[in-house]
Copies of this chain bind each other. A is one copy, B any other.
Amino acid sequence: MNIGIASKKSGLPSKTIRYYEDIELLKPARAENGYRDYSLEDVHSLTFLQRARNLGFTVEECRLLLSLYNDKNRSSSEVKSLALHKVATIEKKIAELSAMKKMLTSLAKNCHGDNRPDCPILDEIAGETEKV
């Protein structure tokens, strides 16, 4: 299939897909007319990339994750440990996001449009940063 369809299916802009080819993340077949020709498998990889990038993995990390994702044999324990390491990273990120969510929610709650000079949340954060 052409790049436009692959783009819609994967959620990645065509530009980005071409860029990923440039940096050798994913090399599609070429049709007779020179157009890129994406297989369903390619689209799955692109979708995987879209998600992984969106979740904050670097392109180089994606390259490794993709090899885990694509390797039918999955014989490398090295790649397995990368995956587990990333799981830990994700857990940490989830925890941070939860903290951020809590903080923003509190900040918004205290934002009534009137003048309230003191803010317990600020004080709390201030207290946390003292250690060093």
Contacts and interface: CB of A to CB of B under 8 A. Distances in A.
Q: How large is the interface on A (under 10, 10 to 19, 20 to 34, 35 or more residues)?
A: 35 or more
Interface of A: 5, 8-10, 40, 43-44, 47-48, 51-52, 54-56, 65, 68-69, 72-77, 79-80, 83-84, 86-87, 90-91, 93-94, 96-101, 104-105, 107-108, 110-117, 119, 122, 125-126, 129, 132
A126 B44 contact: yes
Chain A to chain B: the 9 pairs with minimum beta-carbon distance, closest first:
A74-B111, A83-B108, A80-B111, A90-B101, A9-B132, A83-B104, A73-B115, A47-B129, A80-B108
Binding site secondary structure of chain A: helix
Nearest to A5: B132
Number of copies of this kind of chain in the complex: 2
The listed residue with most B CB atoms (<10 A of its CB), out of A56, A100, A113, is A100
